[in-house]
Every structure is written in structure tokens, then in C-alpha cells.
Structure 1
Amino acid sequence: MLLLFGFLAFVFAFAGLGGYVTSTNIESWYVDLQKPSLTPANWVFPVVWNFLYFLMGLSGWLVWRSAGGFAPGGAALSIFGAQIMLNFTWSVVFFGLHSPGGALVEIFVLLAAIVANIIAFWRVNMLAGLLLLPYLAWSLFATYLTAMVWLLND
């Protein structure tokens, strides 16, 4: 059970870093961008992302536990780590570098990593794979938002 907190700490560390990059650019850069009509209010994003990061941490822990450790779960957990880092990278590219176009390219790589993560986790623990489906759904919506911000501001 202690390692559950380790998985949660891992994902929330990246969430915190991404949140920092994001928050320092909301009022100074993002506020002036043209956004699509389906853009949620700013307060929605941290609520949704905290829930999704909790599900990610829980799913990673379930795979670790079901596989019997890091070595047996290595491939699936490596994909997991990669997609967490790619998720953080999107924040750096979009908010830190102010590059919606670059973030759009990056998010397609992230989507592929999320799908690979779901498949890898599903093979070890079906529930762990299912827990990542809301993350995929929100990331698809984020892809739409990213594309529209790029189109509306390019």
C-alpha cells in the first residue's frame, strides 16, 4: 500500500511541474489567445487533471502490484513513465514555449503513448487499462482545443 503513495507522488510531481509552467502563463499569455467556444473555464482544468493524475497513479500501482514488481512490469511501467513525461512536455511546449503548433505535434505523440499505455496496462490488469480511458478521452478533447487555438491564433 505504501507504494501506492509512491506512484501518486510520481504522477503528482509531474502534475505540479506542468501546473507551474501553465500557471505562470495563464494571465500573461494564454488570456490573450483566441479560444474555441468549447473551451472550459480555467478552473475546470486543474480539477479534471487532478482527478486524471489520481487515476494514472492508481493504475500504475495496480500494474506494479499485479505484475509482481518493477522488473516483471517493466515494459508497461516504462510506457507509463514515458507518457507521464510526454504529458508534462505538452505543458512546456504549449505554455512555456508559447507554441500551440508545436504542442499539437507533441500531443499526437502523447496520444500514441497513452494508447500504448492502455494496451500494455490492460494486458497486465484490465482495471488499470480501464482507469486510463478518461485520460485518453480528455486528451482527445485537449487535442481539439490545441488544434483550434493554433488555427485561431496562427
Structure 2
Amino acid sequence: MELLKVNGRLDRKRVAVGILLPIIGGSITGWLANRNAQEKYKRLEKPSFSPPPAVFPIAWTTLYGMMGLAKYRVERKKEIGYKEPTSIPSYEIQLGLNYLWSFLFFKWGLRGTALIEMTILLATIALTTYEFYQVDNTAGTLMIPYIGWVVFALGLNYATWKLNK
């Protein structure tokens, strides 16, 4: 419960909204981008380190929840008198890039473009993480697994692109 509190206070409604918004957005994006694309993806040659399909929704739900919680913590710090963080715009940009990647890779089959976009996404996540650390160490720490997963996904994207040129 302490993880949800900022300066000893917990706003249950706002923390729930903060966590659920990226999860719901990611679910809708995944559904729209992956509709009718899974058959094509199954036929692609994939690298040996490609995890089973069931891993992705579990990983992304967890990561979206963690990034939503991180944003909640930064917003709460801002409300209780901390200096205006510049981190919210970079958070929104990285989230938009995250959602866009699914369309590039799955829906439109632009795996090379998706690879370039994911590199930009990774840089934006790193910037957001740095900015979150400036406001709240816990918020910055919550973003670290996301960086790790996107580094892994970048390698997976690259290998899949290379194997299916």
C-alpha cells in the first residue's frame, strides 16, 4: 500500500484511473492492431528467444500498470507543491509511440519502420524515466522494467525483421 501513497496520502480513485488508463488504451490498441494480423505473425520466422504468445499480454498489462502508477506518483507530487515537472509530455509521447508500434509491426507489416520507431520509443522512455526520477525516485524506478522489456522487444523486432526480409 505504501507504493500507492505519495507523502503519506492515497487517492484511490486517481490511482485506479492512473493505472487503468494505459492498460485499457494498450488493450484497445492491441485488439485493433492485432485483429486479423495474428495469422500473418504465426507464419513469420521468429528468433529462438521469442517468448510464447501468452507472455505478451501478461508483460504488457504489468508494464502499463507500472507506468500508470509512476505517472500518478509524479502528478501527485506536482499537486502537493513540487516544482512543475516536464515529465508528463514525454510520458504521453512515449505512450503514443508505444501504441503506434503495434500498428506498424502487426497491422501494417512495416517491421523495419517499427524497428526505427521503437528506437525512438526507447529514447523517449529513457527521457521519461530520467524526468520521473527528478520528481519521485519511486516513479523513476517503476519505469525500469519497461526499459528492460523494450530493449528485449527491440532485439526481438530486429531479429524478426532480419529473418523475414
Equivalence for 1:88: 99
Q: 1:25 to 1:132 in 2, by over 3 A?
A: farther
Equivalence for 1:101: 112
**Of 31, 39, 42, the match for 1:28:** 39
* Alpha-carbon RMSD: 1.6
Give the TM-score normalised by the residue count of structure 2.
0.87
Query: How much does 1:21 deviate?
Result: 3.1
Query: How much does 1:29 deviate?
Result: 1.0
Equivalence for 1:5: 16
Distance 1:13 1:46 in 2: 12
Q: Which amino acid letter does the alignment assign opposite residue 38 of structure 1? A: F
Distance 1:27 1:75 in 2: 38
Structure 1 residue matching 2:46: 3-state secondary structure: coil
Question: Deviations along 1:121-153, whole A, 9 cap, x unmatched?
Answer: 000001000000000000000000000011000
* Uncovered stretches (5+) of structure 2, i.e. residues with no partner: 1-10
Structure 2 residue matching 1:98: 3-state secondary structure: coil
Distance 1:23 1:107 in 2: 17
> How many residues are paired up?
153
Equivalence for 1:60: 71
Query: How much does 1:91 deviate?
Result: 0.4
Query: How much does 1:77 deviate?
Result: 1.0
* Uncovered stretches (5+) of structure 1, i.e. residues with no partner: none
Does the alignment pair 1:151 with 2:162? Answer: yes
Q: Which amino acid letter does the alignment assign opposite residue 7 of structure 1? A: G
Distance 1:37 1:21 in 2: 27
Kept in 1: contact 2:34–2:107 (CA 8 A): no
Give the TM-score normalised by the residue count of structure 1.
0.93
Equivalence for 2:146: 135
Q: Which amino acid letter does the alignment assign opposite residue 62 of structure 1? A: R
Query: How much does 1:23 deviate?
Result: 3.4
Higher helix share: 1
Distance 2:87 2:133 in 1: 9
Does the alignment pair 1:45 with 2:56? Answer: yes
